[in-house]
Amino acid sequence: MRLLLALLVGGCLLLAQLPAHAEGSLLPSGEYPEADCRSPLRPLAGDRHSEWMHYRNEMLRYRACVEAYVRTAREDMQRIQRQVDRAVRDYNREAGMP
């Protein structure tokens, strides 16, 4: 565990020493895209049962959309982390570091 923490801290310190070219965001817009999921309008307390059932179905769709977004975002984070690790590994190999 301490070795992993040391490697992470070392990697961050190494990245902090890289040229200014590494600053900023590599994302095209500079930010990660927001979820394209829309929350349904909640019926009022006295609304018909059918409106509440429709709302429930829309909430299930909304939840599925958010879960898909989170799943994709986590996969993106893993891909980015692999690329960062590869860049650090390549630099360390070139610099003669273990």
Is the pTM value of this prediction over 0.75? no
pLDDT of residue 79: 97
Cα dihedral 29, 33, 36, 42 sign: negative
- The pLDDT score that the predictor gives to residue 29 is 85
pLDDT at 80 over 50: yes
pLDDT in tens, 3-56: 444 545 555 554 455 444 456 888 888 899 999 999 999 999 999 999 999 999
The per-residue pLDDT for 5 is 45
What pLDDT, on the 0 to 100 scale, is given for residue 59?
A: 98
Q: Which whole-number Å values give the CA distances from 31 to 27, 46, 94, in the listed order?
A: 6, 42, 31
Instruction: Give the confidence band of 2 by pLDDT, cuts at 50, 70, 90.
Output: low
**Cα angle vertex 11, ends 10, 15, to 5°?**
115
